Amino acid sequence: DGGITQSPKYLFRKEGQNVTLSCEQNLNHDAMYWYRQDPGQGLRLIYYSQIVNDFQKGDIAEGYSVSREKKESFPLTVTSAQKNPTAFYLCASSTILRGSNQPQHFGDGTRLSIL
């Protein structure tokens, strides 16, 4: 079945370490997104990409980096510059049709905790 796969489901990081969260989709979607979810807050956009080798910062990009070398993959690196990385991270994807809004498909998320 087509879908979005995020791995790992749980991730622990020591302070000062970079960590990379994986997101893979086999839906042939052009656009991919990374969101952060904190208790009591709505999802916030970290980065998004609408085409291979191109991506844009979202609302809270500081301390994060991404790459989009393949259409299917959009890994997110949480760097040591991110001072409060403990959160639930969700990856999503969607098609892009000019003038038409398309639903986003979400993965099951990765919960990142600092040791």
Q: How many residues bind another protein (CB under 8 A)?
A: 28
Per CB under 8 A, does 114 bind another protein? Answer: no
Site for another protein in 50-109 (CB under 8 A): 50, 56, 58, 88, 90, 92, 94, 96, 98, 101-109
Q: Between 50 and 80, whose beta carbon lies closer to another protein?
A: 50
The DSSP code sequence of the chain is ---EEEE-SEEEE-TT--EEEEEEE-S--SEEEEEEE-TTS--EEEEEEEETTEEEE-TT-TTEEE--SBTTB--EEE-TT-S---EEEEEEEE--BTTB--PPEE---EEEEE-
Q: Between 16 and 42, whose beta carbon lies closer to another protein?
A: 42
Residues that bind another protein (CB under 8 A): 31, 33, 40-45, 48, 50, 56, 58, 88, 90, 92, 94, 96, 98, 101-109, 111
